[in-house]
A and B are shown apart, each in its own frame.
Chain A
């Protein structure tokens, strides 16, 4: 269970990033955090990733404040794929995938390679294992980034604007791939792409100007979108 409780972030200059945000995301079907730009999605994401310290409120993972979780455990609880993907350009795809399992979690190279290979197959890009990030397309890079995060088997995986760099066809194939993925991980899409959210998520919250203004099924939230 991922609980965001009364979370507020006020920046140094006094501008408010998010105000009193409370969201509960149960494990299971994909969830969407919706909002246009300036809604506070990025601030929320930074807090969820422990890259920003909230001014007040807390984030709990299975009842535990995320600040109190060890680095290794935390990243296996809550993964993030940023909009920029941040693939490591100096490493081939397979090593991009296995760097963390090997260096952080002490997995053997052969085991990590095997799991990464399977993951790439599942994502439909098995042939790219030895390519470098500069040699693959945007849609392929998106899959690699998701696969890299999934290899840590996090309870939740936050995807930051996963479709922003993709065209309509690639977006659809990404959505269908994610739907078919056999995984225990709960996906959380942080996006302004309503059609994409509709394809995948059942429940969602809508954010505006740093606050949550609606919560419920995606179809219901669509009604509030226009305001």
Chain B
């Protein structure tokens, strides 16, 4: 009998895993990651469409694999971790081949070759002609890029500042906080022109970079398919056409037409508001479910047997004592690995960015609100329960009619604080690429290079919701005070 069950479970597991693995083959989408913030390789067009050289190469490869393409935008800093966690099949994100990366992943043949280039402000032309001239100065690079690592290791006297993307670098260049930046030559030229900035290359290429497509080490089959696709694209001229389309102008023309991109107000409003609607959705779900969970949790924190209470309190302290940012990254990127560690396929715990975001926010909301519930309950004297019981009320009735209404009044101000804090924390979901308002702002900034405008817009949106909440909380407090709680009433 026991043997039967063991076999049954084993077979079921095998079948399930087979189903999961086969789902990755033909018919299932070819999932590709890129940042979407790296024009002209990948970026959002004025119409809000994801486009660029990398995007078109991805589509072309998928077509040749006979699979639909699914493009996932994610932050550069975590893009390799996402590949390892199985969130996508490959990265077509202009990743350079390096020995370190080759230890972790398999690279395809290069699909273009570029190089690292130092850029400076045009007016500094006479000051700097190479990286050596910048010893003791500060320059910028995007976090986690080969540019950052090369300059750091080969030019220790240069202060390398790291940024999320070129728009941030350009801002500090203009402000004079850095005197140069290192990026891909093609990309740098293209971006400077689009942003209307007078940044020029200084000196020759630092080195050539072979840009290729990484897949996980256990996915040699896919690698072969990608290489086949690239080879045919090379042979039939597709790759050359794409290069001409995306780099032709940028590589040849100088910084002559310096008009910043203009977006229609309509489109900006639509994108920002849609992003903010998702922000509010995530916050709303987390707050409502979090509060519902916080009530029993808070009661348990106050009244459960000592051992359980201690364990719950530790759990609660842990959630409240660790950064939400870390929790988000952990749930989003770490959960699939947790599944693997438990012997399940990575799919078992894989969540979409929105799911991971809401889950993390809900846990956070529950933890903070449970603490509020607990201290609210503690503020009600024990005699209130005794008094209610002496009048014949059951424990549940005593809680509902006597203890809870009093505790809730005490809870309102800290509860409102939690809600406002949570609403604001929703902005952090942008790090796991939830298409919320900050993510939308960043996309718009990557087109327009106007960080101040869009971040301010986002801030105003948050404030427009947070402020009435804060005001309502104050008014509610006043009203409660008037209803017989204070002698002065």
Residue B262 at the A interface, CB < 8 A? no
Stretch among B171-179, B209-217, B478-486 lining the A interface: B478-486
Residue B314 at the A interface, CB < 8 A? no
Per a CB cutoff under 8 Å, which of A86, A104, A133, A134 touches B383? A86
Instruction: From known contacts A88-B384, A89-B406, infer whether A133 and B484 are also in contact, taking CB-CB under 8 Å.
Output: yes
| A100 contact set on B, CB distance < 8 A | 391-393
B387 to chain A: closest residue by CB: A86
Determine whether the beta carbon of A71 is less than 8 Å from that of B394: yes
Per a CB cutoff under 8 Å, which of A74, A82, A133 touches B386? A82
Cα of A65 to Cα of B394 in the assembled complex, Å: 20
| Per-residue contact bits, chain B 379-419, to A (CB 8 Å; 1 contact, 0 not) | 00101101111111110010001100110010000000000
B487 to chain A: closest residue by CB: A134
Cα of A135 to Cα of B483 in the assembled complex, Å: 11
Cα of A131 to Cα of B483 in the assembled complex, Å: 10
Determine whether the beta carbon of A86 is less than 8 Å from that of B386: yes
Which of A74, A76, A99, A149 has most B Cβ within 10 Å? Answer: A99
A-B pair count, CB < 8 Å, reads 81
| A133 contact set on B, CB distance < 8 A | 484
Residue A84 at the B interface, CB < 8 A? yes
B125 to chain A, nearest CB (A): 75
Instruction: From known contacts A88-B384, A88-B402, A90-B484, infer whether A105 and B392 are also in contact, taking CB-CB under 8 Å.
Output: yes
Cα of A103 to Cα of B487 in the assembled complex, Å: 28
| A103 contact set on B, CB distance < 8 A | 393, 397, 401
| A180 contact set on B, CB distance < 8 A | none
Residue A92 at the B interface, CB < 8 A? yes
Residue B489 at the A interface, CB < 8 A? yes
| B483 contact set on A, CB distance < 8 A | 90, 132
Cα of A212 to Cα of B69 in the assembled complex, Å: 89
Interface size range of chain B in the complex: 20 to 34
B64 to chain A, nearest CB (A): 71
A84 to chain B: closest residue by CB: B383
B116 to chain A, nearest CB (A): 69
Cα of A227 to Cα of B32 in the assembled complex, Å: 93
Per a CB cutoff under 8 Å, which of B390, B393, B401 touches A82? B390
Determine whether the beta carbon of B389 is less than 8 Å from that of A51: yes
Per a CB cutoff under 8 Å, which of A80, A84, A99, A134 touches B489? A134
| Per-residue contact bits, chain B 354-397, to A (CB 8 Å; 1 contact, 0 not) | 00000000000000000000000000010110111111111001
Instruction: From known contacts A86-B383, A86-B386, infer whether A104 and B393 are also in contact, taking CB-CB under 8 Å.
Output: yes
Interface residues of A in 66-83 (CB under 8 A from B): 71-72, 74-76, 79-82
Residue A148 at the B interface, CB < 8 A? yes
A86 to chain B: closest residue by CB: B387
| A92 contact set on B, CB distance < 8 A | 484
Residue A27 at the B interface, CB < 8 A? no
Residue A49 at the B interface, CB < 8 A? yes
Cα of A135 to Cα of B397 in the assembled complex, Å: 26
| A105 contact set on B, CB distance < 8 A | 392
| B392 contact set on A, CB distance < 8 A | 71-72, 74-76, 100, 104-105, 152
Determine whether the beta carbon of B484 is less than 8 Å from that of A152: no
A141 to chain B, nearest CB (A): 12
| A88 contact set on B, CB distance < 8 A | 384, 387-388, 402, 406
Instruction: From known contacts A88-B384, A99-B401, infer whether A80 and B406 are also in contact, taking CB-CB under 8 Å.
Output: no
| A149 contact set on B, CB distance < 8 A | 390-391
Cα of A74 to Cα of B384 in the assembled complex, Å: 19
Determine whether the beta carbon of A82 is less than 8 Å from that of B387: yes
Cα of A79 to Cα of B389 in the assembled complex, Å: 10
Cα of A92 to Cα of B484 in the assembled complex, Å: 8
* 10 closest Cβ pairs, A-B complex: A132-B484, A86-B387, A75-B392, A100-B391, A104-B392, A86-B383, A80-B390, A84-B383, A90-B405, A90-B406
On A, residues with C-beta under 8 Å from B are: 49, 51, 71-72, 74-76, 79-82, 84-90, 92, 99-100, 103-105, 131-135, 148-149, 152
On B, residues with C-beta under 8 Å from A are: 381, 383-384, 386-394, 397, 401-402, 405-406, 409, 483-487, 489
Q: Knowing that A90-B405, A134-B486 are A-B contacts, what are 10 other residue pairs whose CB atoms are under 8 Å apart, sorted by A's residue number?
A: A51-B389, A79-B391, A81-B390, A86-B383, A90-B484, A92-B484, A100-B393, A104-B397, A132-B484, A132-B489
